[in-house]
């Protein structure tokens, strides 16, 4: 399953590789979202009565930042070069469950140089959230430590991501993270039980703050707390670093 997903995302990468090399889409962290040569769009999504939510995010290439917000369900900023690169956003509420989809338009292609494509998303920290993130060539800064997270699925192709799951969660969390090519840094809590199942292709896994228990890794709190994080990790070609903080 891991290798299959890796091949899928690797194919996505190869299809866009010439564009990426031609446009120099590397992220410049010194650029702010108010860069006047780009379209800077701000979007707010209200809860509209939702008591829980499912979030689907799909980005082919670019930089993705996720963190906690306040009362709004989502406050966001999008930075892009051309109007046709405007992200698609869909939100509906049924039976008090909100469903949010954010995805990159098929027209987004990076032929010109110095193109930047950034999504900054901040989600309500109180509403229970199931989150699904799929990316091709993405640099991600994913801080979920203050969200009311229930489930998490992340699948990346050629990406560098840091993912913070070190929150004081009040419920069990099931998470699955799969990487193709690149690096993943994952942060986990000390005071909540953690069990990590780390399968891999030809990647490397570095673990700090967890002890190995047969084919799994656990922290000192595992088996002693009411709530636990159950994390499955798959690596294609790349490196995963897991730290407890």
pLDDT tens column, 62-84:
999 999 998 999 999 999 998 99
As a whole number of angstroms, the distance between CA 130 and CA 21 comes to 34
The pTM assigned to this predicted structure is 0.85
Q: What is the DSSP string of 2-30?
A: HHHHHHHHHHHHHHHHHHHHHHT----TT
From the list 101, 110, 59, 55, the residue with the least C-alpha distance to 82 is 110
- Tokens for 183? 């690096």
Half-sphere exposure in the Cβ direction for 208 (13 Å, CA): 9
Q: Which residues contact 32 (CB under 8 A, 6 or more apart)?
A: none
As a whole number of angstroms, the distance between CA 118 and CA 103 comes to 12
As a whole number, mean pLDDT of residues 183-195 equals 96
Contact 72, 44 (CB under 8 A): yes
Q: In the predicted model, is pLDDT for residue 194 greater than 60?
A: yes
Tens of pLDDT, residues 213-231: 887 999 999 999 999 999 9
Better pLDDT: 236 or 178 = 178
State the greatest distance between any 2 C-alpha atoms of the chain, in Å, as a whole number.
Answer: 54
- Bridge partners for 201 per DSSP: none
> Which pLDDT does position 241 carry in this prediction?
93
> Which pLDDT does position 112 carry in this prediction?
45
Q: In the predicted model, is pLDDT for residue 15 greater than 60?
A: no
SS3 call for 239:
strand
From the list 5, 106, 123, 1, the residue with the least C-alpha distance to 60 is 106
Residue in the block written with tokens 């990590």? 196
- Tokens for 94? 């049924």
Tens of pLDDT, residues 98-120: 999 999 998 655 554 557 899 99
As a whole number of angstroms, the distance between CA 117 and CA 106 comes to 14
Q: In the predicted model, is pLDDT for residue 41 greater than 80?
A: yes
Q: In the predicted model, is pLDDT for residue 235 greater than 70?
A: yes
Tens of pLDDT, residues 115-170: 789 999 999 999 999 999 999 999 999 999 999 999 999 999 988 999 999 999 99
Q: What is the mean pLDDT of the chain?
A: 86
From the list 68, 233, 225, 229, the residue with the least C-alpha distance to 150 is 229
> Which pLDDT does position 20 carry in this prediction?
42
């Amino acid at each position: 399953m891991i290798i299959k997903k890796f091949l899928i995302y690797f194919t996505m990468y190869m299809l866009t590789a010439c564009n990426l090399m031609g446009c120099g889409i590397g992220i410049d962290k010194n650029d702010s979202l108010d860069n006047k040569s780009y379209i800077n769009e701000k979007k707010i999504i209200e809860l509209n009565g939702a008591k829980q939510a499912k979030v689907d995010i799909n980005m082919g290439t670019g930089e993705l930042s996720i963190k906690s917000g306040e009362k709004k369900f989502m406050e966001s900023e999008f930075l892009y070069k051309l109007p046709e690169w405007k992200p698609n956003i869909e939100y509906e509420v049924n039976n008090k469950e909100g469903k949010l989809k954010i995805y990159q338009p098929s027209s987004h292609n990076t032929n010109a140089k110095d193109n930047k494509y950034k999504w900054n998303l901040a989600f309500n920290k109180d509403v229970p959230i199931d989150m699904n993130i799929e990316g091709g060539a993405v640099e991600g800064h994913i801080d979920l430590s203050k969200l009311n997270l229930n489930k998490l699925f992340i699948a990346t192709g050629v990406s560098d991501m840091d993912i913070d799951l070190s929150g004081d969660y009040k419920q069990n969390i099931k998470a699955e993270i799969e990487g193709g090519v690149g690096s993943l840094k994952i942060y986990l809590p000390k005071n909540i039980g953690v069990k990590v199942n780390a399968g891999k292709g030809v990647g490397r896994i570095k673990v700090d703050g967890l002890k190995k228990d047969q084919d799994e890794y656990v922290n000192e709190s595992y088996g002693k707390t009411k709530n636990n994080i159950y994390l499955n990790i798959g690596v294609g070609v790349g490196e995963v670093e897991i730290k407890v903080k």
